[in-house]
């Protein structure tokens, strides 16, 4: 049995392409070895890692993670490394029940966090994790890398209580710089607390970007001082006629800071020139005819537009984007640009020219949905592709041409990464306009070779949006996002050679105790070999 297990272990790691030529898998799996069938949950810790790391070398005896374990940050380590250590301690204390004090100085055993700015091959977010009887050393060039290393360590310790962390070395860095998830808090309003919860859920799988769809026809969710009725009135509606709501600027800042501590950048989106009924309803002066429409609580799209010929429109976007830029430490402001069906193409292009210039003036980089490709994307603008297998060749061609002209793409294929698509016919809630998206389909594609004519170097990354037309509760949200968003995390982080459904689905199944322990109401998708 033991021999079989070991062979299986080696086979899995070799299939992942992670062992290189130097496999030495000794005594790493004793604590997990079980006779009989080998359910996914019995995968050894290094085999379970999700997203799959760049390289793993299981070697030698492990570290005894127990009541004596301390977390060490280099003596005099800067405040940020100390904070990463404190957060890791907090994350490990919950499931382990251990005290895990954080102390100064990396001499001595325990979990050691250290920056090495000269470390090679790790990039901005990569890390090395070395585990042996004397302790566990996490090394990175940046605090962000140390944070990612800590998330790997969370998967190597037992799901509950003390135990052995196997001996060996993980060397890791991401394939793509942008690994995002979006949530639409406009169609249905959600609290900062719920979004923070999602940040925690995502950051543990190394997702590094949270895109917030803050405004749409059905609601305006962020306070803007210069246009207060946007949130006060325009925020007071949502799909289905519920009360809606909005975030104050302080709440928004709190969310941005919380995400930042987890090395998750927030990309705020104010969708324009379409998807603006909530703004038009709030201010009559934004309408070409000077009359404010009713607030909207249905689910149609493509019926509203800012008034392209009116100067007041440009004062509006300048003030709104100026306030938003001031709240945003990250590089990007997303200005939407999708489904502007009632804005003539020439008007759309003229409007987007001016909106992009405003973003640039506030020192930010434009992100937009890929319809911007057919207008005049500003230099450096990032285009978010949300097409699918049935998207027309002409629509794709504009995006491919933009990529060839130097624009980077974030890929969110609707029939792969839209988390609001139903898993299958019986899924409630969810939509199906892009087809059903089972867990396997969400995972089984290669972002580096997805759009013919777009090289991997033009792909900034991937993002999984969660639209909320009929996602109204935390339970709905988690059911639709989990477990598919873990596939997004792996597509964004892991090397292309590691992407393999057989391996991934077993590792995903092995996440079950952690998802359960975190109270995440995930979908027990039938294509995943869950243990129970």
Q: Which residues are catalytic?
A: 339
What six digits make up the tokens of 419? Answer: 């988390």
Is-contact 136 165, C-beta < 8 A? Answer: yes
Among 200, 229, 219, 199, CA closest to 211: 199
Among 485, 398, 422, 410, CA closest to 200: 485
Total of chain residues touching ligand ACM, rule CB under 6 A: 4
Q: Which is nearer to ligand ACM, 128 or 275 (CB)?
A: 275
- How far is residue 98's CA from residue 111's CA, in Å, rounded to a whole number? 13
Q: Footprint of ligand ACM on residues 281-340 (CB under 6 A)?
A: 338-339
* In the complex, minimum distance from the CB of residue 407 to ligand ACM, in angstroms, rounded to a whole number: 17
Q: Which is nearer to ligand ACM, 369 or 504 (CB)?
A: 369
* In the complex, minimum distance from the CB of residue 82 to ligand ACM, in angstroms, rounded to a whole number: 40
Q: Which is nearer to ligand ACM, 59 or 217 (CB)?
A: 217
Q: Which is nearer to ligand ACM, 217 or 338 (CB)?
A: 338
Among 130, 112, 113, 226, CA closest to 172: 130
* In the complex, minimum distance from the CB of residue 80 to ligand ACM, in angstroms, rounded to a whole number: 35
Residue 386 binds ligand ACM (CB under 6 A): yes
Q: Which residue has the tokens 């895990």?
A: 100
Q: Which is nearer to ligand ACM, 89 or 340 (CB)?
A: 340
What six digits make up the tokens of 339? Answer: 């489904």
Q: Which residue has the tokens 């998206």?
A: 437
369 DSSP 8-state letter: E
Residue 32 φ then ψ, to 5°: -100, -15
How many Å separate Cα 51 from the centre of its chain?
12
* In the complex, minimum distance from the CB of residue 3 to ligand ACM, in angstroms, rounded to a whole number: 51
293 DSSP 8-state letter: P
DSSP for 182-202, written as a single string: EEETTTS---HHHHHHHHHHH
* In the complex, minimum distance from the CB of residue 480 to ligand ACM, in angstroms, rounded to a whole number: 15
Query: How many Cα atoms sit within 13 Å of 242 on the Cβ side?
Result: 17
Residue 385 binds ligand ACM (CB under 6 A): no
- How far is residue 1's CA from residue 95's CA, in Å, rounded to a whole number? 30
Between 330 and 369, how does the x/- string for binding to ligand ACM read (CB under 6 A)? Answer: --------xx-----------------------------x
* In the complex, minimum distance from the CB of residue 364 to ligand ACM, in angstroms, rounded to a whole number: 20
- How far is residue 425's CA from residue 297's CA, in Å, rounded to a whole number? 25
Q: Which is nearer to ligand ACM, 115 or 466 (CB)?
A: 466
Q: Which residue is nearest to ligand ACM (CB)?
A: 338
Which chain residues interact with ligand ACM by CB under 6 A? 338-339, 369, 386
């Amino acid at each position: 049995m033991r021999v079989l297990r070991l062979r299986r272990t080696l086979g899995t790691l070799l299939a992942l392409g992670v062992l290189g030529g130097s496999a030495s898998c000794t005594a790493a799996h004793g604590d997990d070895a079980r006779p009989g069938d080998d359910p996914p949950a019995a995968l050894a810790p290094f085999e379970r890692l999700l997203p799959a790391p760049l390289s793993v070398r299981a070697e030698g005896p492990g570290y005894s993670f127990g009541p004596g374990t301390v977390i060490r940050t280099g003596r005099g380590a800067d405040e940020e490394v100390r904070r990463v250590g404190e957060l890791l301690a907090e994350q490990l204390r919950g499931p382990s029940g251990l005290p895990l004090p954080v102390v100064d100085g990396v001499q001595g055993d325990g979990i050691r966090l250290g920056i090495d700015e000269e470390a090679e091959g790790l990039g901005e977010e990569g890390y090395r994790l070395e585990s042996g009887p004397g302790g566990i050393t996490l090394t990175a060039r940046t605090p962000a890398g140390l944070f990612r290393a800590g998330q790997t360590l969370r998967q190597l310790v037992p799901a509950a209580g003390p135990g052995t962390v196997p001996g060996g070395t993980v060397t890791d860095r991401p394939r793509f710089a942008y690994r995002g998830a979006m949530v639409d808090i406009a169609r249905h309003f959600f609290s900062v607390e719920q979004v923070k919860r999602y940040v925690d859920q995502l950051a543990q799988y190394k997702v590094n970007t949270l895109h917030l769809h803050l405004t749409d026809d059905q609601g305006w969710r962020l306070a803007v001082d210069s246009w207060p009725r946007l949130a006060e009135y325009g925020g007071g509606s949502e799909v289905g006629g519920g009360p809606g709501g909005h975030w104050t600027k302080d709440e928004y800042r709190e969310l941005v800071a919380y995400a930042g501590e987890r090395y998750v950048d927030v990309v705020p989106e104010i969708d324009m020139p379409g998807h603006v009924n909530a703004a038009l309803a709030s201010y009559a002066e934004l309408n070409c005819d000077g009359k404010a429409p009713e607030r909207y609580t249905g689910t149609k799209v493509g019926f509203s537009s800012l008034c392209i010929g009116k100067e007041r429109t440009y004062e509006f976007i300048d003030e709104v984007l100026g306030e938003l830029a001031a709240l945003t430490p990250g590089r990007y402001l997303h200005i939407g640009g999708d489904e502007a069906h009632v804005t003539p193409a020439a008007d759309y292009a003229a409007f987007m020219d001016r909106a992009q210039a405003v973003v640039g003036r506030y020192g930010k980089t434009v992100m937009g949905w890929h319809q911007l490709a057919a207008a005049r994307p500003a230099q450096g603008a990032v285009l978010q592709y949300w097409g699918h297998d049935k998207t027309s060749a002409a629509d794709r061609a504009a995006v491919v041409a933009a990529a060839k002209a130097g624009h980077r793409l974030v890929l969110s294929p609707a029939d792969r990464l839209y988390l609001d698509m139903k898993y299958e016919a019986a899924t409630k809630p969810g939509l199906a306009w892009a087809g059903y998206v089972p867990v396997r389909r969400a995972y089984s594609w290669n972002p580096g070779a997805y759009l013919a004519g777009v090289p991997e170097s033009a792909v900034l990354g991937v993002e999984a949006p969660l639209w909320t037309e009929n996602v109204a509760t935390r339970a709905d949200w988690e059911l639709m996002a989990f477990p598919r968003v873990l596939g997004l995390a792996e597509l964004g982080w892991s090397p292309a050679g590691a992407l393999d459904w057989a391996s991934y689905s077993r590792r995903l199944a092995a996440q079950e105790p952690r998802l359960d322990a975190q109270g995440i109401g995930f979908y027990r998708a039938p294509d995943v070999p869950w243990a129970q």
